[in-house]
Amino acid sequence: MPRKVVQGPIRDKEKTKQKLLGAVGKILKTKGYSGLMVSKIAAVAGYDKKLIYEYFGSTDKLIDEYIKSQDYWSNFSGENDVDLADGGQTLSKMAMINQFENLKKNKELQKILVWELSEGRSVLKKVMDEREVIGEELFKNITDPHFGDDATRYRAMTALMIAGIYHLNLYTAYNGSTFCGIDLKSESGRKEIEGAIEEMVDYAYSKKAGKK
């Protein structure tokens, strides 16, 4: 008779890690960041809290890994699917529109962004710094060469658009649906914002083309 394989937290490490990460998300979504205590995370996951230290090293490292798994830019790989011959014009539009829709659906990421704005914590600073490193690589290797002397101006325009994406989604999630008379909970309203993003990116690239 074949020996029965016993599976449990120690033998199934990856499954256990995913359940612990999932517990962080559940708590963040329902209780907010104040509920992210080691005992609470362990209880929601259904494991002993010692596994958090065994698999992640600390509660902060567990939360850090969870935040990175949710962060749009930390997981961005769209440049692999887009022809960059246009200097990043198509990529810029695709990335920001996808971020706009991703943030609407991801309630946990909304909580993380509110957390970033309201508290100064090393675990959040680390993710924000990593986000900047990824952005720097995209700018340096794709859009900066295209814009040349105007590269910093395009970065500034991108900053405003991404900040707007954050604010509009958070405003809609927490306060109301209408901003500047546009209903952001309606499909037509969101399409207007997406169209505006495309027009702003196209304007920047057309302005650069007009200088040549």
The per-residue pLDDT for range 136-194, each reduced to its tens digit, is: 999 999 999 999 999 999 999 999 999 999 999 999 988 888 999 999 999 999 999 99
pLDDT value for 73:
83
pLDDT bracket for residue 211 (50, 70, 90): confident
pLDDT value for 174:
85
pLDDT value for 200:
97
pLDDT value for 62:
93
pLDDT value for 5:
44
pLDDT value for 212:
60
Q: Is the pTM of this model over 0.85?
A: no
The per-residue pLDDT for range 83-115, each reduced to its tens digit, is: 899 999 999 999 999 999 999 998 888 988 888
CA 188 to chain centre: 24
Residue 182 phi/psi, 5-degree rounding, is -105, 125
